[in-house]
Structure 1
Amino acid sequence: MTIPSSLRASLHNHRALLLLVLAYTAMVLLLAGSKPTRHEIAPLLASFALAALTGPVFLLCAWTGYVMCMLRPARLCHFLYHELRRHLHRERLLHALPALLLVPLFALSFTTFKAAIPRLHPFDWDVRLSAIDIALHGGTAPWAWLQPLLGHPLLTGLLNVAYHFWFLLFYALLYWLILDTRHRLLRMQFLLSFTIAWIVLGSVVAMLFSSAGPCYYGHLHANDPYAPLMAYLQESNHRIPVWALKVQDMLWQGYQSGGTVGELGISAMPSMHVATSVLMALVAWPIRRAAGIALAAFAVLIMLGSVHLGWHYALDGYVGTAGAIVIWQAVGLALRRSAAAASPQLDIAPCLNKKGLTP
């Protein structure tokens, strides 16, 4: 059986991503310390299938919403069917196949590792991170600075919606880039930056600075400076639903159960919501300036929401932002040098700059 040349080329182009994801998965398996039993195989495969389907479904929903609001064809289903047939041709699918398979594997591995962080390094940084956070903001906790501005149930509800909308937006953008064939270098810069950020920031840094976050501070320590914030959120929840509270309770129950009722993992430092939002703004900016501005504004909302909803110390967002920018620039520089080495006779700098691959 011969591998199509386009698939061989796609595998070659994704070799760095392939190496990163497989190495990370192997590390997670070693840390897990055991092989899945035959009774665990089916749930693992189901989790992989769910992760593989989540992104395309979110992308399809986002695209359908765009068509309904902006294009408004007379026959919506007919239009969607023929547009999908036109865009999802064989070459594009082969181009996207390695990433389509690697992303759900990476998501499953990351979720497994994140759930293991408290067992590898129990939460012991919350007191220090909280103290640093308060000191950086003039002796007042950042949530208290924000409370006069955001401490209204309607605004809290809107931030809560934006924070959950992050999942739809991130997966839609991720899979749009996976299927994109026009911005190949920029696409690869995002895929590598996203993967490295979640390995370095979301795994290594998260384990070194193991922390649960403000919403769980009272569960771990006395003299909780975030008790007034959580009391406000509970009160707001009676007027406008604050979904974050239910998710926080679910994660804490999973943590306490040790995985018997489902353990998705708790980790505050750094904020991967913020880091990923910054990466989304960085990749959108060179493609369309308006989209970059909109996603930069969205990143600010996520930063505010992470503090106001009790998920993170502001410091978590600062570290996530700085880490995302450094990784983005480093990956862009590496790709630029790799492209220059592959085609030394060409002056590729102008082309790369247009694609957003600035050093």
Structure 2
Amino acid sequence: MDVSEAVPAKHFRITTTGVAALCLMYVAAAIMVAPRTYFAMLTEYTLRKYSLPVPLFALFGMAGVAIVSRPSSPLTFTLEKLRHRGKGALIVVGIFVLCAAAFSTIKHVTPIYVPFFADPFLAWLDAAIHAGDAWRLAHAIFPPQLEPGLFVLYGPVWFIQMVGMVLIAAFTNDGACRARYFFSFLLVAVLVGSLVRIIGSSAGPIFFERIVGSDRFNGLMSALAATSSGRAMIATSDYLYSSYALDRTVFGTGIAAMPSMHVAVALLNALFLSQFGRAIRYWGWFYFGAIMFGSVYFGWHYAIDGYFSIIATIAIWRYSGRRIGGATPARWAP
């Protein structure tokens, strides 16, 4: 159902104010579960990780959009956009940071209450579906010369793309489009990234030996150790495992395989970007494909983690669309 269709009267209508209220409830729940962890994460995000990148992304992103959208008067475009959406976008970014700290808090403390138990089953099911471990198929078909590019897309670009998409949605004029994106994002975080993560508590192939005590994925670890990109991924896994084992709150803290939030968020962004034109739509779907493939190639996830995330995210996106009426195609021009 297109978001431009009317919402049946018997259903509630999603608004940006309603989404903000739900986000704050999510934050309150995280504070109740682990207040010390939450405020440690919030300090990490606000003072160390988001305080500089977000303004820079907003500045350069706005400049680029202004030049493309109104090359004759980009400064006027920027000033008009800030006048129309500056205050609202600032509120959106603030709530996003609060929610990011809440998500990391819940992800970090979940193994305390629900220890990793599903890895042996997920590894068996993944191999049964693919007639062998999926990472072997990924390494067999992917040209090794392209691995550094895949590493950049899966690693450094991930943070840029995630923050950039939040800013794009925050500055979008259409309130219904904003509400749909952030409501979908919230449902993905709560339902997919928190509740399902408890049901299928698992760490992933790259942590398999440390969590399960089995050498089943030694071949994967050897393949990763043979390249600079793979060694960087192993170093990242060491960083996350140390945070888990020592119960330290650090940026990006938390280990979770089923389901894949990387895949879920990349797909959600691709769905949202499909409203903005051909070039940006192609980028969204290309990036989603790279994240899905990279999650298996680098051993962070079993392929079925991504499959589940795809099904769940599409269902959430469609559901949110049925709860929003009066939307028009997303636009940047004031």
Alignment match of 2:299 (pick from 298, 310, 316)? 310
The normalised TM-score by structure 1 is: 0.78
The reply to whether residue 47 of structure 1 matches residue 45 of structure 2 is yes
Mapping 1:145-156, distance limit 5 Å: 145-150=137-142, 152=144, 154-156=145-147
Name the amino acid aligned to 2:81.
H
Q: Is the 8 A contact 1:52 1:101 kept in 2?
A: no
1:248 Cα deviation from its structure 2 partner: 1.1
Q: Give the match's secondary structure for 1:266.
A: coil
Match of 2:315? 326
Q: Deviations over 1:12-62 (max 9, x none)?
A: 942221222122112212222xx549xx96874463354465434334345
Name the amino acid aligned to 1:108.
A
Q: Is the 8 A contact 1:254 1:263 kept in 2?
A: no
Alignment match of 1:170 (pick from 155, 162, 165)? 162
Q: Go from structure 1 to structure 2 and tell me whether the alpha carbon gap of 1:233 and 1:14 turns closer, same or farther (over 3 Å shift).
A: same
Distance 1:321 1:195 in 2: 16
The reply to whether residue 116 of structure 1 matches residue 99 of structure 2 is no
Distance 1:245 1:270 in 2: 20
Match of 1:279? 268
Distance 2:163 2:175 in 1: 18
Q: Deviations over 1:168-219 (max 9, x none)?
A: 11211211210121x3322221111011101110111112211111100011
Name the amino acid aligned to 2:273.
A
Q: Go from structure 1 to structure 2 and tell me whether the alpha carbon gap of 1:255 and 1:30 turns closer, same or farther (over 3 Å shift).
A: same
Identical columns (%): 29
Mapping 1:1-359, distance limit 5 Å: 13-32=15-34, 35-36=35-36, 44-45=42-43, 47-49=45-47, 50-51=49-50, 54-62=53-61, 84-89=78-83, 91-138=84-131, 140-150=132-142, 152=144, 154-164=145-155, 165-181=157-173, 183-237=174-228, 242-259=231-248, 264-336=253-325, 339=326, 354=329
Q: Is the 8 A contact 2:264 2:310 kept in 1?
A: yes
Aligned length: 314
Q: Give the match's secondary structure for 1:106.
A: helix
Give structure 1 stretches of 5+ with no counterpart: 1-11, 74-78, 340-350
Match of 1:9? none
The normalised TM-score by structure 2 is: 0.84
Q: Which is higher, the Rg of structure 1 or of structure 2? A: 1
Distance 2:107 2:39 in 1: 20
Distance 2:133 2:85 in 1: 49
Name the amino acid aligned to 1:47.
Y
Q: Is the 8 A contact 1:275 1:320 kept in 2?
A: yes
Q: Is the 8 A contact 2:45 2:251 kept in 1?
A: no
Q: Give the match's secondary structure for 2:226.
A: helix
Match of 2:5? none
1:85 Cα deviation from its structure 2 partner: 3.8
Distance 1:189 1:117 in 2: 28
1:307 Cα deviation from its structure 2 partner: 0.4
1:67 Cα deviation from its structure 2 partner: 8.1
Name the amino acid aligned to 1:57.
L
Distance 2:252 2:286 in 1: 32
RMSD over aligned CA atoms reads: 3.0
Name the amino acid aligned to 2:232.
W
Distance 1:257 1:201 in 2: 26
Q: Go from structure 1 to structure 2 and tell me whether the alpha carbon gap of 1:169 and 1:314 turns closer, same or farther (over 3 Å shift).
A: same
Q: Is the 8 A contact 1:236 1:242 kept in 2?
A: yes
Distance 1:206 1:248 in 2: 18
Q: Is the 8 A contact 2:40 2:249 kept in 1?
A: no
Name the amino acid aligned to 1:104.
V
- The higher-RCO structure (CA 8 Å, 6+ apart) is 2
Name the amino acid aligned to 2:225.
Q
